[in-house]
Chain A
């Protein structure tokens, strides 16, 4: 896996990840809105995965297909369940103003293993994101933004996913390419965080898998988590020294 914090200056945070040939880019735009009425001290994170016809001949232009919708929903679930960002931090003023982070994930080259790449790129982009400081002016009751002062976001957990392709309940391969995915009988994605806890397991149908094989996959996912967090730390260090 290779990743870089690309400098899309129009986005508040961005990253590009390449796993083999699969290339995914994420751009985060932060906007302001009123908090939801049922949770007045929380903000919103809205992830969306798009598979444009650019990335592969399998995708047609138009509304997002099944795969894109499933991926978006999966990323939303991972964010919820892994407590990636403290939602209360996104709230500026209770019941009046909060941040909404639109995380737009776009695939530039589809060669299998989309979900892993999406999670990593989202993590990287959130780490890179800088939000302007916003205060509410007491007199006018309007928000005032100061884009010269920027603060990074605080990330609580580092969820990392590992995808596997299952063949006939016996052979499991890690990090399948598009060809391997199309030939497999089942796909499995395991998401763990940096404290070796399980965040999410995604296995949409397909052939069954024994419990012992599943445990094997979870162990592999934990190793992968360590590799990826080391990579993220390395890139953070190198950008800090470059600045």
Chain B
């Protein structure tokens, strides 16, 4: 890890107290019993237009996962040596706040964040009418304030809400949904503890996680990420469940966007 000379440095090394838990006092993982079923996603709270400086912004809360996103643009593209200047570019920046995970993250963007940024960009690109913004770039910045599972899916949803709030022309919003499989149970919208065996920790047998990004009106999948070992039939069922999850999420998004539009342009008083 390169030494970060630009920030105030603490001690060379430090460990989280979670590594030192005394054996009798490890907290029990919470189960889903009684709160929601295996096929139910968490209720979502979505609001647009929170960041005054940004063209468009959105905030999403699903359970404890909190994600905020802002959109700037269209701006003049930074690189002038692009051969194909007929379409615009979408630049995505995915960040996890250092206090968002149980173990403190570093400030410098690691390879996982870069990977997530790339996946986010690939999922959002088919939804945005980039040919309407030649020679420009649209910047999408996502910040995860608290990581309680399925951040990529919720980030995709949050980013498309922010794009819509910013008035960027789109074919359709892009919604995301995650499914985690552990043994024989498949859980839609897993929380952090249910995602055990995610890309951070390595997988056991018959464990995996699938994230699907869907354009609901066109019923097209724009992004699919799958990790771990899953059998073929389970994988195709998982994708179908994720697509159902996305369709269920769509009305919530519509309501949030309508509310934002009404606030910005109130209907004329009769």
Contact = CB atoms under 8 A, between A and B. Distances in A.
B11 A147 contact: no
Query: Which applies to chain A's interface (DSSP): helix, strand, loop or mixed?
Result: strand
Contacts of B27: 147-148
B262 to A, nearest CB: 21
A232 interface: no
A104 B95 CA distance: 14
Given A8-B146, A46-B8, A30 B139 contact: no
Interface stretch (B63-71, B79-87, B168-176): B63-71
B68 A29 contact: no
Given A56-B53, A106-B143, A31 B7 contact: no
Name the interface size band of chain B.
35 or more
Contacts of A10: 99-102, 146-148
Given A64-B6, A145-B17, A8 B104 contact: no
Nearest to B93: A61
Contact of A9 (B11, B64, B68, B72): B64
B16 interface: yes
A21 B52 contact: yes
Nearest to A137: B22
B224 interface: no
Interface in B139-171: 139, 141-143, 145-148
Given A76-B8, A147-B27, A29 B99 contact: yes
A29 B21 contact: no
B14 A31 contact: yes
Interface in B1-51: 4, 6-11, 13-18, 20-22, 25, 27, 50-51
A236 to B, nearest CB: 21
Interface in A39-66: 44, 46-48, 50, 52-57, 61, 63-64
A50 to B, nearest CB: 7
Contact of A31 (B15, B52, B75, B95): B15
A137 to B, nearest CB: 8
Contact of A25 (B72, B101, B145): B145
A48 B8 contact: yes
Contacts of A11: 99-100, 146
Contacts of B64: 9
Interface of A: 8-11, 14, 21, 23, 25, 27-34, 36, 44, 46-48, 50, 52-57, 61, 63-64, 69, 72-73, 76, 100, 102, 104, 106, 108-111, 132, 134, 142-148, 178
10 contacts: A27-B97, A27-B99, A33-B10, A44-B10, A48-B8, A72-B7, A104-B98, A145-B21, A146-B25, A147-B21
